[in-house]
Amino acid sequence: MAAKRVGSQTMALSNAPSIIGNACVVGKKEGEGPLGDSFDYIETDPMFGEKTWEQAESKMVRHAFALALAKAGIEERDVSCLFCGDLLNQCIGTAFALRDSGIPYFGLYGACSTMAESLALAALSVDGGYAVNAAAVTSSHFCSAERQFRFPLEYGGQRTPTAQWTVTGSGAIILASGGDGPYVTHVTPGRIVDAGVTDANNMGAAMAPAAYDTIRNHLQDLHMEPMDYDLIVTGDLGSVGGEILTELFRADGVEIGGCYNDCGMMIYSQQLQDVHAGGSGCGCSASVLTGYILNNMRQGRWKKVLFAATGALMSPTSTQQGLSIPSVCCAVSISTQPPECGR
């Protein structure tokens, strides 16, 4: 059996699972952004026909999961296990969405890093032979997140320049032990990094050092340079965090600019959409990955992508208590080529 551990922090998936289905459902604002064409379904009703924001989020999740299953050409009963999470208290967005699926369930909380965390664990479960097919599903909804983390929408709270806009979106990925790719080849789970930032309206600054830590260790573990990837994409550092990440690498003498982008910067137009520092939320990196990025990989534009989703692990309680924001970044390497033999 090929080595499963590489360097200090990276896991190599020698039977690299294949992404046989991926889909996303987003809201109206996301559909109006520059990536609008890449999303599978755009819902213009923020309530998704439901009575509450939370149930709207759950309905969006069910839709994304159903679309991913249809693309994969399999049924719910063919999925060995689900890895799911969202931003809501007790993760009710995904748990309520998939409670009738009849699929063994692992609930996760990685804040905005959850798409990478769920994809990583689903990939390990398939690579290790514990699951035939596994699914990774995450979501966020602007309205449910605002009242959860900040203020009721009716309050009309003013947003700071460093604030990010929570994406209304859900992404789902189905993995299989066989398939034509793209393949999940490596996983680098992240260490928690707390840079001492206490401003919950500046999550980009809080999360950038975690992204730096994980991406740097991933590259070191695999003896790679940033340019060995066609794209290194962070979850949702936004404009503030993205600049800090670039500066942190520059201090090491490493330029990542040429191949670096951020889902939070990609999903909205900085000129035309009033989102301040960019998009955020589990649904941000989830919908950009399962729409734009994987579409481009399937179309041959990119062969090798490092998907490094970032999460700020604070809660409103910890913020009110004046605590700083612990952050985490989980990186997943995705390639249109299966991994080299014996690696």
Q: Which of residues 206-245 bind a copy of itself (CB under 8 A)?
A: none
What does the alpha-carbon distance between residue 32 and residue 47 come to, in Å, rounded to a whole number?
Answer: 17
Could you tell me the CA-to-CA distances from 74 to 77, 102, 123, 124, 134 in Å, in that order? Answer: 8, 14, 17, 20, 11
Is residue 54 close enough to count as binding a copy of itself by CB under 8 A? yes
Q: How far is the CB of 301 from a copy of itself (least distance, A)?
A: 30
Which of these ranges, 38-46, 51-59, 162-170, 270-278, lies near a copy of itself under the rule CB under 8 A? 51-59
- The token pair that represents 107 in the structure block: 């609930």
* Spatial distance between the Cα atoms of 276 and 296, rounded to a whole number of angstroms: 27
Q: Which residue, 41 or 105, has its beta carbon nearer to a copy of itself?
A: 105
Using CB under 8 A, pick the residue from 24, 69, 124, 203 that binds a copy of itself.
124
Do 138 and 114 touch, CB atoms closer than 8 A?
Answer: yes
Nearer to a copy of itself, 125 or 239 (CB): 125
Nearer to a copy of itself, 153 or 323 (CB): 323
Give the number of other Cβ atoms within 10 Å of residue 222's Cβ.
Answer: 19
Considering only residues 146 to 165 of the shown chain, the ones binding a copy of itself according to CB under 8 A are: none
Min dist. Cβ of residue 162 to a copy of itself (A): 20
Out of 109, 243, 273, 343, point to the residue binding a copy of itself (CB under 8 A): 109
- Among the listed residues 100, 196, 300, 341, the single contact to a copy of itself using CB under 8 A: 100
C-alpha 116/C-alpha 329 separation (Å) is 8
Q: Which residue from 110, 109, 136 is spatially nearest to 121, judged by alpha carbons? A: 136
DSSP string, 262-328: EHHHHSS-TTTS--TT-EESHHHHHHHIIIIIHHHHHTTS-SEEEEEEEEE---HHHHHTT----EE
Nearer to a copy of itself by C-beta: 52 or 270? 52
Closest to a copy of itself by CB, 128 or 257: 128
Whether 67 contacts 25, CB under 8 Å: yes
Using CB under 8 A as the criterion, which residues of the chain lie in contact with a copy of itself when the complex forms?
A: 1, 3-5, 9, 11, 51-52, 54-55, 80-81, 85, 87-92, 95-96, 98-111, 117, 120-121, 124-125, 127-132, 187-192, 194, 311, 313-318, 321, 323, 326, 328
